[in-house]
């Protein structure tokens, strides 16, 4: 059960980073 929660946290972190990577270019475009 502990391993499952750790993997879920890792997946959540990866998806969050992916969303940030998708949003960053748009934010940079607004600043330029």
Write out the two tokens for 6.
């750790």
Whole-angstrom distance, CA of residue 16 vs CA of residue 28: 18
For position 31, what pLDDT does the model report? 66
DSSP per residue, the chain: -HHHHHHHHHHHHHHHHHHHHHHHHHHHHHH-
Other CB atoms within a 10 A radius of the CB of residue 3 amount to: 7
Does the pTM of the predicted model rise above 0.95?
Answer: no
Whole-angstrom distance, CA of residue 25 vs CA of residue 10: 24
For position 12, what pLDDT does the model report? 93
Reported as a single tens digit per residue, the pLDDT across 1-32 is: 789 998 999 999 999 999 888 888 887 777 66
Whole-angstrom distance, CA of residue 12 vs CA of residue 20: 12
């Amino acid at each position: 059960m502990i391993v499952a929660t750790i993997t879920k946290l890792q997946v959540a972190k990866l998806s969050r980073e992916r969303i940030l990577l998708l949003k960053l270019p748009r934010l940079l475009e607004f600043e330029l």
